[in-house]
Amino acid sequence: MALYYDELDSPIGRMIIIADEDKVVRIDYATVSSADSRKAWLGRYFPNVDLIHWPEQVKQAKQELLDYFQGMRQQFSFAFAFYGTPFQKQIWQSLINVAPYGETTAYKAIAEAIGNPKAVRAAGGAISKNPISIVVPCHRIIGSDGKMVGYNGGLDKKNFLLTHEKNCCQ
């Protein structure tokens, strides 16, 4: 099996976009030669995969991300697919539905959105494994005390994304 990728220079660093034949399957803060977490993820869901540099396959996603960083896009229209456990997929989908552009919400709200208000820690664990950065807006999730906590890309990136969205909404 083959997956296709291209890299994107963004205001918060180099990113990689990976797609199968039809859909984006991962957007990561990394390059093709880095990111151990991405390599482990690929091994789990796509064993023995060939990763092929093919910019055309991710052209739309790349352009939409560039538009986002330029303040010209708040929602994404390219197709993507989740690879994870059923619980993770439920959490990731809820991020799209519960965390609107330019706003923040707490981990508790995500747990409540899936009908399991006691699953706050489990929701946090799933959020930390979000494979579609920015598009699935895990950067909009904050602690119940209003503080910024955890982000796979680092709190500096989370802060940048939240500030960017806040400034674009004014």
Question: Closest Cα partner for 3 from 29, 30, 21?
Answer: 21
Decide if 169 is catalytic.
Answer: no
Measured distance between the N- and C-terminal CA atoms of the chain, rounded to whole angstroms: 45
* 106 Ramachandran zone, left/alpha/beta (phi>0; psi -120 to 50): beta
CA 112 vs CA 90, 106, 143: distances in Å? 12, 10, 14
Please identify which of the residues 138, 141, 161, 162 carries the catalytic annotation.
138
Report whether 120 contacts 94 (CB < 8 A): no
Other CB atoms within 10 Å distance of the CB of residue 8: 18
77, two tokens: 């229209």
Bridge pairing between strands 50-53 and 105-106: unpaired
Enzyme catalytic residues:
138
